[in-house]
Amino acid sequence: MNSYMVVATFKDGVTPDDIRALIPAEQAQAKLLEEQGLLGSIKVAMPKRTVFLEAFGQDDQSILETIHSLPLAALWDIEIFPTTPPAGSNA
C-alpha cells in the first residue's frame, strides 16, 4: 500500500453545528478504517478549518473512496498528496 496525506478544508458556509452533528458517525467510521489499515493519524486545525489525514491505498482513487466514506467528507474540499519516506530513512 502507498501512503498519502489528505488535506481537507471545510467548505464555505459549514457551521460548527453541521460539524458537531456528524462527529459520532465520523468517529465510528474513522475507527473502522483504522482497524482496516486504511487510515492513520488524523490531526485537526479548527482555527484554520483544516483536517490532515494519513491514508493508505493503492492509488488516488482508492484514497478518495476511503476519504469519501467518512461522514464529514461531505463538508470538505479535499486534496490528496502521495508521500515518500524522508531521505535516508529505511521506510
pTM: 0.89
Model pLDDT, residue 56: 97
pLDDT digits 0-9 by tens, 18-47: 999 999 999 999 999 999 999 999 999 999
Q: Read off φ and ψ for residue 20, nearest 5 degrees.
A: -55, -35
- Is 84 strand, coil or helix? coil
pLDDT digits 0-9 by tens, 49-69: 999 999 999 999 999 999 999
Cα 63 from Cα 54, distance rounded (Å): 10
Q: Is the pLDDT confidence value at 12 over 90?
A: yes
Distances 76 to 2, 24, 35, 50, 88 between C-alpha atoms, Å: 23, 17, 23, 9, 35
Q: Domain 2-82 - what CATH class? A: alpha beta
Model pLDDT, residue 91: 57
Give me the residue spans of the domains in the chain.
2-82
